[in-house]
Amino acid sequence: MTAAKEMRFAVEGAGEVSALLQRPESAHCLLVLAHGAGAGMRHSFLESLASELAKSGVATFRYQFPYMEQRRKAPDRPDKLTATVQAAVAAAGQAMPGLPLFAGGKSMGGRMTSQAAAQGLLPAIKGLVFFGFPLHPPKQPSSKRAEHLAKVEVPVLFLQGTRDTLADLALIRSVCAKLGSRATLHIIDTADHSFHVLKSFGKSDPEVLRELAQTASAWMQKL
């Protein structure tokens, strides 16, 4: 397995942040992967996911948001987050030119990526991949956070668990229905927001990660 290469790139008004570029020899695309609100790019979930994606031919460009780089707990303002996504996608494209470019992330990272796309900041990407889209706060079902997706012009892939307290499955289905053919929904039975599954499901967490990676890889390869 090719080791991740440490990099840095500049974000306008926020200085430099760190990134990890992991490219398998047989890469067929590049996924710019943002972290969730409470954990950075080196979190075990993203580390394992990047490794599984590499096995499926997907190169990844993981990166830090400024608040995580500066070891602050509270996330940056949305405009700074989307500016970071924009800079990350540009840096990834320059680091690995020629590969089809996709973007997305875990939880908040995916949502901020979609907001950047809705604002027209990511013209080079071919699609968005959400690993647990955070549709609403826990026990507060609403689809307001998905309204901006109507302005996203590229295909989107939702990877969601049935026990995710931040995304009521019925609401996620409704969001996908409104997006029509642009949206694909892949459901992991009994998975929570962190993609931990119940023993009754019959799969281990590593097997679920492999399913997430293989599903995303196959979807990206078709576009």
- The domain spanning residue 188 has which CATH number? 3.40.50.1820
What residue numbers bound the domain in which 216 lies? 5-222
C-beta atoms surrounding 26 within 10 Å: 11
Task: With beta carbons less than 8 A apart as the criterion, state whether 89 and 32 touch.
Answer: yes
Residue range 104-147, pLDDT digits in tens: 999 999 999 999 999 999 999 999 999 999 999 998 999 999 99
Q: Number of folded domains in the chain?
A: 1
| Cα–Cα nearest to 196, from 163, 172, 158 | 163
Half-sphere exposure of 194 (CA within 13 A, CB side): 10
Placement of tokens 């990511």 in the chain: 122
Q: Is 33 helix (H, G, I), strand (E, B) or coil?
A: strand
| pTM across the whole model | 0.97
CA distance 196 to 174: 24
Residue 87, token pair as written in the block: 């800079």
CA distance 210 to 216: 10
Residue range 158-190, pLDDT digits in tens: 999 999 999 999 999 999 999 999 999 999 999
